[in-house]
């Protein structure tokens, strides 16, 4: 495959207060082996050499694990490939002469900070509302092998814990729902004996915070699962709904 020339339509927005616009850029001689973000690096180098401000985008690990990169690429969160983050996307997925649209996540609960960078702090606040097990650091917790955990449960908990908190699920959902993200954390703990103790309180608090942040409702369209780079399964949402209902019944009884 030879090198390619591309047209990029990119969202530029000075800051949270300003209105943004789509701008057009050309990049030339891009290697199919370079990553999508390396292609943006090339564009940014060009912009800087023309004394213009480079495009601001979030990224850090560039290997699909930190969840920092985002980008809505030609209508798909993290681009056209399934199961990858933007930083893992390579230019061999595109063709010479393509026009690529690059936009930030768009969600009321995740406002744009600058260009392609959005504010995902709502995710942190949801985790702070209950995404933990209340155990202090001490050298005296019980031996790690004290509670055997069936491999099946441990594996499922792990699969849920693999969420990288990128926000693609929200960006891709027509309702802007964060259910996949929240349910992943709720499930991880709900599946482990250590997490059961606080399970009811956790799910109520996390869902409450989620609603407060302005995320939309889940109408089971399943788009999130398709775009999630870590393959977080819709099963988690079902599990969270069950957890939520039973917790709600108990807490209503208590209150009632």
Partner 1 sequence: MSKLDSKIPTGPIKDKWTKHKNDINVVNPANKRLIDIIVIGTGLAGGSAAASLAELGYNVKAFCYQDSPRRAHSIAAQGGINASKNYQNDNDSDYRLFYDTVKGGDYRSREANVYRLAEVSGNIIDQCVAQGVPFARDYGGLLDNRSFGGVLVSRTFYAKGQTGQQLLLGAYSAMNRQIAKGKITMYNRHEMLELVVVDGKARGIIARNLVTGEIERHSAHAVVIGSGGYGNVFYLSTNAMGSNATAAWKIHKKGAYFANPCYTQIHPTCIPRSGEHQSKLTLMSESLRNDGRIWVPKKLEDAEAIRAKKKKPTDIPEEDRDYYLERRYPAFGNLVPRDVASRAAKERCDAGYGVNATGEAVYLDFASAIERYGKEKAHVLGMHNPSKEKITELGEKVIEEKYGNLFQMYEKIVDENPYKTPMMIYPAVHYTMGGIWVDYNLMTTIPGCYCIGEANFSDHGANRLGASALMQGLADGYFVLPYTIGDYLANEIRTGEIPTDTPEFDEAEKSVRDRLEKLLSIKGTKSVDHFHKRLGKVMWNYVGMARNADGLKKAMDEIKKIREEFWSDLYVPGELNAMNTELEKAGRVADFLELGEFFAVDALNRNESCGGHFREEYQTEEGEAKRDDENYAYVAAWEWTGDPRTPILHKEELTFHDIELKQRSYK
Distance between CA 167 and CA 141 in Å, rounded?
Answer: 34
Residue 85 or 107: the one with the smaller Cβ distance to ligand FES is 85
Residue 202 binds partner 1 (CB under 8 A): no
Spatial contact of 72 and 103, defined as CB atoms under 8 Å apart: yes
Residues whose CB is less than 8 angstroms from the CB of residue 41 and which lie 6 or more positions away in sequence, other chains included:
none
Interacting residue with partner 1 among 9, 12, 25, 56 (CB under 8 A): 56
Binding string, residues 82-111; x marks residues near ligand FES by CB under 6 A: ---xxx------------------------
Cα 219 to Cα 39, 77, 123, 176, 179: the distances in Å are 36, 19, 20, 10, 10
Identify which of residues 122 and 164 has a Cβ nearer to ligand FES in the complex.
164
Is residue 96 involved in binding partner 1 (CB under 8 A)?
no
- What is the SS3 assignment for 82? coil
Pick from ligand FES, partner 1, ligand SF4, none: which does 43 bind, CB < 5 to 8 A by kind? none
Q: Which of 23, 26, 33, 96 binds partner 1 (CB under 8 A)?
A: 33
Give dist(CA 58, CA 37) in Å, integer: 10
Hey, which residues between 122 and 141 contact partner 1 (CB under 8 A)?
A: 123-124, 127-129, 131-139, 141
Is 169 an interacting residue with respect to partner 1 (CB under 8 A)? no
Residue 228 engages ligand SF4 in binding (rule: CB under 6 A): yes
Query: DSSP letters of 166-217?
Result: --HHHHH-TT---HHHHHHHHHHHHTSHHHHTTHHHHHHHHHHHHHHTT---
Coil, strand or helix: which one is 112?
strand
Interface with ligand FES (CB under 6 A): 59-62, 64-69, 85-87
Residues forming contacts to ligand SF4 in the complex (CB under 6 A) are 163-169, 180-181, 184, 228-230, 232
């Amino acid at each position: 495959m030879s090198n390619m020339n591309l047209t990029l339509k990119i969202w530029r927005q000075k800051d949270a207060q300003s209105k943004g616009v789509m701008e057009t850029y050309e990049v030339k001689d891009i290697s199919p082996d370079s990553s999508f973000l390396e292609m943006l690096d090339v564009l940014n180098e060009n912009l800087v050499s023309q004394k213009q401000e480079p495009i601001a985008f979030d990224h850090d690990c560039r290997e699909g694990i930190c969840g920092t990169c985002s980008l809505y690429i030609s209508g798909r969160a993290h681009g056209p490939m399934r199961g990858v983050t933007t930083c893992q996307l390579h230019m061999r997925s595109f063709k010479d002469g393509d026009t690529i649209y690059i936009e930030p996540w768009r969600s009321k609960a995740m406002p744009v900070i600058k260009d392609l960078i959005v504010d995902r702090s709502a995710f942190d606040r949801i985790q702070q509302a209950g995404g933990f097990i209340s155990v202090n650091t001490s050298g005296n917790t019980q031996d790690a092998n004290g509670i055997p955990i069936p491999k099946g449960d441990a594996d499922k908990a792990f699969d849920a814990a693999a969420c990288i908190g990128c926000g693609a699920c929200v960006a891709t959902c027509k309702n802007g729902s964060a259910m996949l993200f929240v349910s992943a954390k709720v499930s991880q703990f709900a599946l482990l004996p250590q997490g059961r103790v606080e399970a009811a309180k956790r799910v109520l608090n996390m869902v409450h915070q989620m609603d407060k942040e302005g995320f939309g409702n889940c109408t089971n369209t399943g788009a999130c699962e398709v775009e999630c780079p870590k393959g977080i399964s819709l099963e988690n949402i079902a599990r969270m709904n069950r957890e939520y209902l039973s917790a709600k019944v108990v807490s209503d009884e208590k209150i009632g």
